Amino acid sequence: MKNKSPFIWDHYSDQPQVIKDKKYKRDMRKKYKFDFIKMFFTSILVFPFGLLLQKLFIKEREEETFLNKNFYGLSVNLNKGDIQQQLIEELGVKSLLMRIPLFDVDNLEKYYEFAKSFGEDKEFVIVILQDRENIENHELLRTNITQIFSMFNSFVKEYQIGIAINRAKWGFFAVEEYLKFYKVVENIRDNNFNMIKLLGPSVIDFEYHYTIRALFNNYDVQFDNLSSLLYVDRRGAPQNKQMIIFDTKNKVDLLYSLVKLSPKMKTNNIYITEVNWPLSNTAPYAPTSEKECVSEEDYSKYMIDYFRIVQETGKVKKVFWHQLIAPGYGLVDNRDDEIRKTKAFYSFKEMINQSSNKI
């Protein structure tokens, strides 16, 4: 895959490197200083209402659950080989997520064949992974999105537009840039592919001021479902708290409250499209420093707890674990061209088996 400086792709952790040109990053953000001011004041207004209404919305959703195997999603990658199909069948996963980088559209047919190879019984979410060229050139974006929708429209109906929009290394420098980007995609969908559902705004971590800015604005956009990359790994166990009161459950409760309040949401559906814990002693594959890494034993336990906590809220439709094969954070370690299934692989399989028995 290709990408352009200063956005350099790290093939170990499957994400961009931190931008080293600090002046470039600072200058780009200065262009959008008024957008950050809008985000500040919108957050001050919306955040208290979201907190106050959390308990009310909890009661409303008590009886709704998603106790079926489709709740358990998993990310697969084109560059991780064809062993993935066999592993997915062993696990019994029905909900899959696949990234398509806009800087790799020349290989679009390979992504299509890869997705189709998992069989007709899978539900795919495709992540449209942005790059700076497509953010700046909307004509190019229209061409690429139309090509992707046209190729996958026969069997993929859900697309996450963008990823980690609050991290400059992924290409966006303000929510305003993302909303303009999203609007281009939304127009293509509305005009030519009206059966497709669009997910956004794809904020990573507990940075809900970015989510609020994306969900409360004057832009003519709407999200069919909300996508969130709700990592809690830097806090250790998912029961641990951030900002005194926000454990995983309370983070989901607040997110759902914002979804209910937003005029930009067509539904109340939330998809957590990325979450995991980094694994100890796996550098350079781990996406964080060793300080945040955990043992394979804790990784498995935290994963089980995370899925249980989120599922019990009744407010999240699907959770996609990131990802199947990745030495630093996945269910399977493929270093030295060997496939080693971690304890979490078997724990994931057991979760799906147990959910199937409840149907």
Q: For 68-98, how does the pLDDT look when each residue is reduced to its tens digit (9 = 90+)? A: 779 999 999 999 999 999 999 999 999 999 9
Two structure tokens written together for 232: 């809690």
Domain annotation covers residue 13: no
DSSP 48-94: HHHHHTHHHHHHHTTT----SGGGEEEEE-GGG-THHHHHHHHHT--
Domain annotation covers residue 3: no
**Collapsed DSSP state (helix, strand, coil) of residue 232:** coil
Please state the domain count of the chain: 1
Give the model's pLDDT for residue 120: 95
Domain annotation covers residue 87: yes
**How far, in Å, CA of 126 to CA of 113, rounded?**
14
Q: Tokens 């919306």 map to which residue?
A: 46
Host domain of residue 230 = 21-358
Domain annotation covers residue 6: no
Domain annotation covers residue 292: yes
Q: What is the CATH number of the domain that holds 244?
A: 3.20.20.80
Domain annotation covers residue 83: yes
Give the model's pLDDT for residue 343: 98
Domain annotation covers residue 15: no
Phi, psi of 210 (to 5 degrees): -70, -40
Q: What is the pLDDT of residues 142-161, one digit of tens each?
A: 999 999 999 999 999 999 99
**Which residues, in sequence order, are CB contacts of 300 under 8 Å at separation 6+?**
342, 343, 344, 347
Give the model's pLDDT for residue 357: 67
Per-residue pLDDT of the chain (359 residues; tens, 9 = 90+): 566 789 999 999 999 999 999 999 999 999 999 999 999 999 999 999 999 988 777 655 544 445 577 999 999 999 999 999 999 999 999 999 999 999 999 999 999 999 999 999 999 999 999 999 999 999 999 999 999 999 999 999 999 999 999 999 999 999 999 999 999 999 999 999 999 999 999 999 999 999 999 999 999 999 999 999 999 999 999 999 999 999 999 999 999 999 999 999 999 999 999 999 999 999 999 999 999 999 999 999 999 999 999 999 999 999 999 999 999 999 999 999 999 999 999 999 999 998 866 65
